Amino acid sequence: MNSYDVTIIGSGPGGYVAAIRCAQLGLKTAIIEKYTTLGGTCLNVGCIPSKALLDSSEHYHNAVHNFDEHGIEVKNVKANLAQMINRKNEVVSQTCAGVKYLMDKNKIDVYTGVGALSDKNTVVVTDAEGKSQSLSSKNIIIATGSKPNYFPGMEPDKKRIITSTEALNLPEIPKRMLVIGGGVIGLELGSVYGRLGTEIEVIEFAPSIIPTMDSAMGKELTRVLKKEGFKFNLEHRVQKVENKGKSVLLTALNKKGEEVTFEADYCLVAVGRKPFTQGLNLEAAGLTVNNRGQIDVNDHLQTAVPHIYAIGDVVRGAMLAHKAEEEGVFVAELIAGQKPHINYNLVPGAIK
């Protein structure tokens, strides 16, 4: 059995940054990732690929709508979604390769497979072929992140009723797309396809979009997106979404309690994310999750077992990559005997 000072489960921004800092501080470190590429949600199916597609769609949108104003005449402009996705995949591949390089450079042992606790100091890694090996560790950091959330009636089938993950690899530019949720993820991916010519219709339960943020931002973003052709249905409660083969049918109740329906080619379910703890076998170490699915931690990010820490989306606070990174550095330095500090009031949030 291999032994480590620190074993980290999850290689997203929180996990891989924690691993690097642990190694820099002289701690023998291992990191476990169930997928074949490192980087977690953010690098593989989150921030990086969505921004890559946003970049490509903006170029197309400018060519169609804004080049003439600058004296640039372009005829027969056509959006090649397959090439946009190929470029996105290349960006993701390069970024993930960069994380692997950093692991090698800092002599961090990488294990590919699902990590699960078997007791308070042992993590079992099971690979895709079902082979298992145990790692003994003085400290463990849980950094397993989050996955797309959904509510009853809107369960994704990953074909027509999709999450942000499937939206990154659609086989076609839809004529119409419904977006359940007026938060940053739905509006961001809605913008990608809206710029390519898709009619975007947003269904939001709250009375405004980005409801958790400043109301002035919501008003301004609504104005901007309406100008780009977005339609908004606020104060609508989704009852069910049905895959009709080549289309989807969404049924909702409006603010008057009346039943209304919407039809489109695809429905993007973007009602937030939820902590991912599936398969961790937390009970073996005496740990549980709270009613929000999070792992409870103290101000030092320690769980109920002091040498087991949890960071990022799996604990309380904003689900932001840079928040997870700060927590990763914090825990690494704490384990090394330093006295780090995080001021959560200084963790920025931005919409671009």
Question: Mutual orientation of helices 184-195 and 47-65 as an angle, nearest 10°?
Answer: 40
- Among 246, 271, 296, identify where a domain stops: 271
Work out the average pLDDT over 133-142: 98
Residue-wise pLDDT for 107-128, tens only, equals: 999 999 999 999 999 999 999 9
In a domain, 342, yes or no: yes
Domain match, 116 and 184 both: no
What is the average per-residue pLDDT within 145-151? 97
Read off the pLDDT of residues 226-254 as tens digits, 9 standing for 90 and up. 999 999 999 999 999 999 999 999 999 99
* CA atoms within 13 Å, Cβ hemisphere of 38: 26
pLDDT band, residue 349 (cuts 50/70/90): confident
Confirm if 10 and 17 have CB atoms less than 8 A apart: no
Residues 117 and 199 in one domain: no
SS3 43: helix
Q: Are residues 194 and 217 in the same domain?
A: yes
- Of 219, 245, 271, at which residue does a domain stop? 271
Inside any domain, residue 56: no
Q: Which CA distances in Å does 30 have to 6, 53, 124, 309?
A: 6, 33, 12, 15
CA dihedral over 312, 316, 320, 323, signed as positive or negative: negative
Please identify, among 271, 306, 322, the residue that sits at the C-terminal boundary of a domain. Answer: 271
- Residue 43 shares a structural domain with residue 130: yes
- 209 located within any domain: yes
Residues 300 and 265 in one domain: no
pLDDT at residue 351, as a whole number = 82
| pLDDT of 352 over the 80 cut | no
Residues 242 and 174 placed together within one structural domain of the fold: yes
Q: Give strand pairing partners of 231.
A: 201
pLDDT of 17 above 90 = yes
Total number of domains in the chain: 2
- Supply the range of the domain harboring residue 222: 161-271
Residue 185, Cβ density class (10 Å: 0-12 exposed, 13-18 middle, ≥19 buried) = buried
241 and 185 housed in the same domain: yes
Does residue 22 form part of some domain? yes
List the CATH number of the domain containing 247: 3.50.50.60
End-to-end CA distance of the chain: 47
- Give a yes or no: residue 67 inside a domain: no
Q: Is residue 61 part of a domain?
A: no
Tell me, yes or no, whether 132 lies in a domain. Answer: yes
Residues 248 and 307 in one domain: no
Q: Are residues 94 and 205 in the same domain?
A: no
In terms of domains, do 38 and 136 share one?
A: yes
Strands 146-148 and 161-162, by their bridges, are unpaired
* pLDDT tens digits, one per residue of 49-96: 999 999 999 999 999 999 999 999 999 999 999 999 999 999 999 999
- Please indicate, yes or no, if residue 58 is contained in any of the structural domains: no
Same domain, yes or no, for 126 and 15?
A: yes
Residue 197 and residue 176 share a domain? yes
